[in-house]
Chains A and B, each alone.
Chain A
């Protein structure tokens, strides 16, 4: 009678676990699809940004060669968003928001950068959200959370900085973005706006803090570069190019 390890061949709890199995499997499949798509969207967005950095001016519609170069990447983003849109419906929108977040952020970075280069103004949340919606060609649409929009804007300030530094290094002036505005005044306005947004104790707050620090450094880099231009402006004529061995230009400008 003493059979201490009496194994019943079948656990009576199996039915309980069987009910979870399908749901857990589906959950993992959805989650992985979203993660993969997010990575692809990030990669394509980065490539778009890279192409946009070939531009030197603000406020003009994209030249054909740039638009053409970026077309496949935009198409890729649209495809991926359409693919995972069904996975991000209803309660699943929030369930996998962390998985899609980095992709959407990077897309916002690219989209707002392009928008800024074309118009000299900031892409609004409403427009960004409708862009994301429109990229989904299927019935299901991906919703853009305002957190991802804000986090994307933080990264966008970094692109503006890089663009500004390159433009200043090559043209010797700070890009003008509108009447009475330059890239630096825009960057400062953006900084003031973003710093005014308080997140309190939400999980995004920590991510925001990190990005805020990077943004401050970006603004300062442009300020330093502009300072350099101002100080040395009188010392060299416009269009002056260094002769061989003269490495003096662009001092204090790091990208």
Chain B
């Protein structure tokens, strides 16, 4: 030890560097998975916007979302399946480490994947009834469900919602899970997307859907009223839900004014 260094124990900073390097290694592993999830997420978003904007991709017969052109739906399901596989890989790696230490690395992509799942389910995919809002534990169960042959005898698209024996990860553990905040953020994304779908489905000649959407958004809005949100990201975004309520109502209003709602005689 040189005289100059007698101020500090030798190796003090080297030991700290070792801790940082270990940390960096974990982050790199996680980043690789998250980047893949991000790419897959982008793909899903492309498809969801295709669904709400391209006339040839959607069957305009009202009140029957299951008539969404099957090939598009299957593609949607497949992309989500890929996302779920990435999430399961992520869960495996992430569960070995303190949950919130690296949470920032994946939270955005988890929200976007959750949005895809909520949206697909709302449209009637993932073996759910159209208009259904998956709960947090349903989303978790779905993320844990596995399309791999060893656990499921058959797999047909859209992915069946089959819960595994594994219970949804309880909060307050370090194991990988979807947080309520992430779920709610995704739900707001869903509301944003649905208010867009309300307008676009009218363009495509579906005048029944805006009614369903308007009710759905209102119900979600009522749900947010129950929460005491403080000044954080969730609060800021949830403030926007009331504008979506209004947007969807405006569409319904436009339709009813012109007698275009189902049961109003026209169409």
Contacts and interface: CB of A to CB of B under 8 A. Distances in A.
Interface of A: 1-2, 4-8, 10-14, 16-21, 23-25, 28, 90-95, 97, 120-122, 124-125, 146, 149-150, 177-181, 185-186, 188-190, 193-194, 196-203
A13 B227 CA distance: 12
Given A1-B263, A2-B264, A7-B218, A21 B226 contact: yes
A194 B99 contact: no
A18 B135 CA distance: 12
B218 A125 contact: no
A102 to B, nearest CB: 18
B9 A28 contact: no
Given A24-B180, A200-B24, A202-B24, A94 B7 contact: no
B133 A14 contact: no
Given A16-B135, A122-B9, A189-B8, A200 B220 contact: no
B15 A181 contact: no
B222 A11 contact: yes
Contact of A200 (B20, B184, B211, B253): B20
Interface string B159-191: 000000000000111100000110110000000
14 contacts: A8-B215, A11-B220, A13-B222, A16-B133, A91-B174, A93-B100, A94-B98, A94-B100, A94-B101, A95-B100, A146-B19, A150-B16, A180-B3, A202-B23
A59 B183 CA distance: 56
B224 interface: yes
Contacts of A4: 211, 214, 249, 252-253, 255-256, 261
B223 A178 contact: no
Contacts of A180: 3, 6
Contacts of A7: 218
Given A5-B252, A20-B184, A121 B223 contact: no
Contacts, number: 150
B19 A11 contact: no
B120 to A, nearest CB: 18
A20 B229 CA distance: 11
Contact of B219 (A8, A94, A200): A8
Contacts of A190: 7-8
A181 B17 contact: no
A139 to B, nearest CB: 17
Contacts of B264: 2
Interface string B111-151: 00000000000000000000001011000000000000000
A179 B3 contact: yes
A197 B215 CA distance: 56
Given A91-B172, A194-B13, A197-B20, A16 B136 contact: yes
Contacts of B221: 11
Given A28-B228, A122-B7, A199 B20 contact: yes
A181 B256 contact: no
Contacts of B103: 94-95
B4 A125 contact: no
A160 to B, nearest CB: 10
A153 B101 CA distance: 22
Contacts of A24: 180-181, 227-229
A-B CB proximity, top 10 nearest: A11-B222, A94-B100, A17-B223, A11-B219, A122-B8, A95-B100, A193-B13, A94-B101, A20-B180, A4-B252
Contacts of B99: 91, 94-95
Given A4-B253, A177-B7, A189-B4, A91 B173 contact: yes
B5 interface: yes
A199 B17 CA distance: 8
B20 A178 contact: no
Interface string B186-229: 00000000000000000000000001001100111111101111
B256 A2 contact: yes
Contacts of A97: 100-101
Contacts of B215: 6, 8
Contacts of A21: 226-228
